[in-house]
A = this chain, B = another copy of it.
Amino acid sequence: MQLLKNCLTLITLFIFLCASAQKHPIVYCTKSDIIFIKSKLNDNELIKKSYSDIKASVDFWIDKDVDVPFPKDPAGGYTHEKHKDNYTLMFNSSMLYQLTGEEKYADLVKKLFIKYAALNPTLKNHPEAKSKYPGHIFHQALNDANWLVYAGLAFDGIYNYLTASERKKIADGALKPEVDFFTGELKDWFALIHNHAVWACAGVGIAGIATDNDDWVDKALYGGNKDRKSGFVANIDGLFSPEGFYTEGPYYTRYSLLPFFLFANSLQHYKPELKIFNRKNNVLRKSLYNALQQTNLDGSFFCYNDALKDKTFITNEIVEAVDIAREVFGEDKNLLPVVVQQKRVTLSRGGISLAEEISRNKNIPRYYPYQSIEFTDGANGDEGGVSILRSGANEKLTSLIFKYTGHGLSHGHFDKLNINLFDEGNEIITDYGAVRFVNIEQKYGGRYLPETKTYSSQTIAHNTIVADEKSHFNAVEDASQAHHSNKLFSSIGGNVQVVSALDTNAYQDIKLHRTIYMLQLPNNPKPLTVDIFRAVSATQHQFDLPFQYSGTLMSTSFPYKTFGTNQTTMGKKFGYQHLWKEAEGKYNNPLAQFTFLNDKTYYSISSLSDDSTQFYFTRIGANDPNFNLRREPAYLIRKKGNNQTFINVLEIHGGYNSVTETSTNAYSSVKKITLLRNDPEYSVAEVMIGEKPLLLIQCNSNYKSAEKHNIIINNKALQFAGPFVVLYDGKEL
């Protein structure tokens, strides 16, 4: 009887195991996906190259004993890089096993897993751990989560090659310690609404699906105690605005899209009834597309908040997301220019499909279809946002970013109402991004450097007003995180694009009100940007408006004095201690002009000034004991008083051809700027472009689009509807 019972148990187990085995692979792709991919591997060059690159990277390790070292080094060091390489190798080798059936690939993965199964249960906090959330294999838990994601994918890929006891040994030894660590000791971290938690949830969930462990899957989806307050779904709901704007900004959107897409993709296979990709009105798809909109012509992500400038959409994260999006949402030719630049596809149904579309399609545009676009911030879309104003096509594209978001969690900067300008593929009015050299061991193990806090996140590192040499919210993250700016009105597309936004929280007794006009004047190949920035206060302040520019100073209309033999800093705190004061000037003239050359194009900033306005030329690099900062310049305009209004006209003009050595249109066409009216009701500015007046009228309190206004300008009555009107040479633009 006991024998029969044992037999029955064994049979039940056998049936269960068979059923499980039939279910796998299911995480990264399914059995039918594999059949499809195998049939296409020789279809075109892009697929062949993508496949052979992976094969070469794995074949190098076949028959070699791959090291699984005891964790010791920070990012950039040997053990860190080795464990990173190992999880990629495990995943790639598991894919090759599935696509070729060759056991050597599965065996390579198994041997690595056996080593991790021995190592992982012995690990405590990493010796180089410095953060609140330490890792075991790596210095921070985030990297352990990366490992778990890929280990889970690899486990699923060789599931059918492993015996039941091997599966158990690996699941218990290699995967479970990480899952337990995340959901136990690090449960606060696991419960965050933050990209780290997304990685952790994806890791636990993918490991759960791979090992047939629904408990892990449920914890991943709905939080450690499954109450839906945290977990993957709560992160989808909480981290994106309704348009898919990710609160930390485009650089981290890129990073977080990978776990979002990888786990969602496996849920699509494992729990299709969840319709995870349709959650929040397809917000994952929107997030990908909106991240692509937030790139420069070279594919690099706009670098506001903590960001590194060399990150583009050719990174692995976006390759995966684009290819999965293709599979889930179907064909979209807008993705093709991106895939062409990525120069590879994943070995997935979506990747193969994209490669085939590219080989079929002979007229793929060179660039992603960039357009003017606006995003709200906040889970409900009511916490400010970002507007991107664009003009021009292809390599001539101009993009202006106007940011009036919330803070953006731990990677946010104190940069309310900041602007950045890109033109012809170059960053012109710049954002420093983060001070960090990712994974370069010599630079503090590749972690964020202290100057990210002391300089690049401070207000003075941006292109917005700093009052009294103090950063917005006194550079207190929690204070900033509690607030956001608000858009007052906007109109995008067309010859007159305008966005007006207000911040009332960055300083206690100052309202910052900025309105950006991007105007397409007749017969001008480039847009003209007018920036009306009102600092409204009942009390006296010093207001600094810096423009971080990239280029070589050509000329100024005003005299200045340089500090040629002895240079001191601009200040002592809030980032000013990192700025050398290179020069200062004053000008007894209402128009101050500053022209620089970037690449082959001239840029001028024409400013309304008076005899109390001061001009400074600054350069980053003071108090930089480890040479972490780039020596970049800024042009700073300082005004003092209570209500102060900055009017700056940013002009893109002319060009220099170094082959023919010819210079054209090297001077600004702005001849005069006048602030005709400026009160709680209206601001009216007149800018003389050559001989022709450009008149900008905006409402400062009533923003209703239907509202009719009557206003007297230069002794002439003028009527208009809505919150603004722009006239050029007497006619509405």
Residues of A whose CB lies within 8 Å of any CB of B are 76, 81, 84-85, 308, 310-312, 314-316, 437-443, 446, 552-555, 562, 564-569, 577, 580, 582-583, 595, 597, 617, 619, 621-625, 627, 630-631, 633, 656, 658-664, 666-667
Contacts and interface: CB of A to CB of B under 8 A. Distances in A.
Contacts of A315: 659
A663 B81 contact: yes
A597 B440 contact: yes
A446 B76 CA distance: 46
A540 B137 CA distance: 57
Contact of A619 (B311, B440, B621): B621
A170 to B, nearest CB: 26
B660 A76 contact: no
A672 to B, nearest CB: 20
Contacts of A630: 552
Contacts of A617: 627
Give 5 nearest A-B pairs by CB, closest first: A564-B623, A442-B555, A553-B627, A310-B658, A567-B567
A569 B565 contact: yes
A440 B654 CA distance: 12
B439 A662 contact: yes
Given A316-B660, A569-B565, A554 B622 contact: no
A257 to B, nearest CB: 15
Nearest to A554: B442
Nearest to A630: B552
Contacts of A565: 568-569, 577, 622-623
15 contacts: A81-B663, A311-B658, A316-B659, A437-B554, A439-B662, A442-B555, A442-B666, A552-B630, A553-B627, A562-B625, A565-B569, A565-B623, A567-B568, A567-B580, A582-B621
A662 B597 CA distance: 34
Nearest to A572: B565
Contact of A562 (B553, B624, B631): B624
B631 A662 contact: no
A450 B664 CA distance: 24
Given A81-B662, A442-B666, A662-B439, A622 B568 contact: no
Nearest to A667: B442
Contacts of A81: 662-664
A624 B663 contact: no
A577 B310 CA distance: 35
Given A565-B577, A566-B566, A438 B661 contact: yes
A85 B580 CA distance: 43
Nearest to A342: B659
Nearest to A312: B659
A494 to B, nearest CB: 31
Contacts of A583: 627
Contacts of A441: 663, 666
A73 to B, nearest CB: 11
Given A566-B567, A627-B552, A666-B76, A440 B656 contact: yes
Contact of A625 (B84, B437, B564): B564
A497 to B, nearest CB: 30
Contacts of A633: 631
A559 to B, nearest CB: 10
Contacts of A439: 656, 661-663
Contacts of A569: 565
A137 to B, nearest CB: 16
B627 A84 contact: no
A656 to B, nearest CB: 6
Contacts of A631: 619, 631, 633
A656 B443 CA distance: 13
Contacts of A85: 662
Given A621-B582, A661-B438, A554 B316 contact: no
Contacts of A312: 659
Given A85-B662, A564-B625, 18 more contacts: A310-B658, A439-B663, A440-B656, A440-B663, A442-B555, A442-B666, A442-B667, A446-B663, A552-B627, A553-B627, A562-B624, A562-B627, A564-B623, A565-B623, A566-B566, A582-B627, A619-B631, A631-B633
A595 B440 CA distance: 12
A31 to B, nearest CB: 30
A327 to B, nearest CB: 23
Contacts of A446: 663
